[in-house]
Chains A and B, each alone.
Chain A
Amino acid sequence: MADFDQELDASGLNCPLPILRAKKSLAGMSAGQVLHIIATDPGSVKDFEAFAKQTGNELMESKEEGGKFTFLIKKA
């Protein structure tokens, strides 16, 4: 189990809500803190990669377990 500072459960939400919620959560965090995101939208895998690339926040981990997608994003 990886360490994180805040968790966002975006289960059941569809594009673009997981990204928008993640952005909102990150806005309230400080640099270096890690956000753990849980999503069920398969499109979020590519989207969080693209989100990280464009915003400079680091995607530390992207995993799938039993239909759930989890991500660790470190705030830049």
Chain B
Amino acid sequence: MSNKKLAIISTKGTLDWGYPPFILASTAAALGYDVEIFFTFYGLQLLKKKINVKVSPLGNPGMPMPMGMDKWFPVLGTAIPGMESIMTMMMKSKMKAKGVASLEDLRELCIEADVKIVACQMTVDLFDMSPSDFIDGIEYGGAATFFEFAGEADITLFI
């Protein structure tokens, strides 16, 4: 019996949007799926050796804020310098307190489970990123590389 296949395109480089690709990929691998994630545009931030992504309250009205701040805090206030870092710090400590794994840990679990990781060569060139900034064991490819796997996939997600 050949395994089911899951293909994911990861395009977002924020703390919150970094989770779905790694959670779904690692879980699918645990369930016996063959998994490939194609990282493109801002999703490439998730492949940096040290992941340095933030969560932004700016333009994110659904984000729960502490102390009812979302009720009385003006929308423009979320653009204050430093807000992003503060919210990111708070989010990270909340995640730790609730037993949510770090992005690095989840990524490591994906790699251990043989999730195939492909970085978009075009974006790497576009942003003058250096492959030495990225973790080892990843492949570089383009849209055709993605379809080689996704064409056979049972599930394909764009995140």
Contact = CB atoms under 8 A, between A and B. Distances in A.
A24 B88 CA distance: 31
B21 to A, nearest CB: 12
Interface in A2-45: 12-17, 19-20, 22-23, 40-41
Contacts of B30: 16, 19-20, 22-23, 51, 55
B11 interface: no
Nearest to B32: A55
B99 A16 contact: no
Interface string B43-72: 000000000000000000000000000000
Given A13-B99, A14-B98, A14-B100, A54 B26 contact: no
A17 B101 contact: yes
B124 interface: no
A41 B27 CA distance: 16
B17 to A, nearest CB: 17
A16 B31 contact: no
B8 to A, nearest CB: 14
Contacts of B109: 20
Contact of A54 (B32, B99, B101, B113): B32
B23 interface: yes
B152 to A, nearest CB: 19
A15 B101 CA distance: 8
Interface in B105-143: 109, 113
Contacts of A40: 99
Interface in B82-109: 98-101, 109
Q: Which of B32, B99, B113 has the most CB of A within 10 A?
A: B99
B95 to A, nearest CB: 8
A16 B32 contact: no
Nearest to B27: A16
Nearest to A10: B99
B27 A20 contact: yes
Q: Which 9 A-B pairs have the closest CB atoms?
A: A23-B30, A14-B99, A16-B27, A12-B99, A13-B99, A54-B31, A14-B100, A16-B23, A20-B30
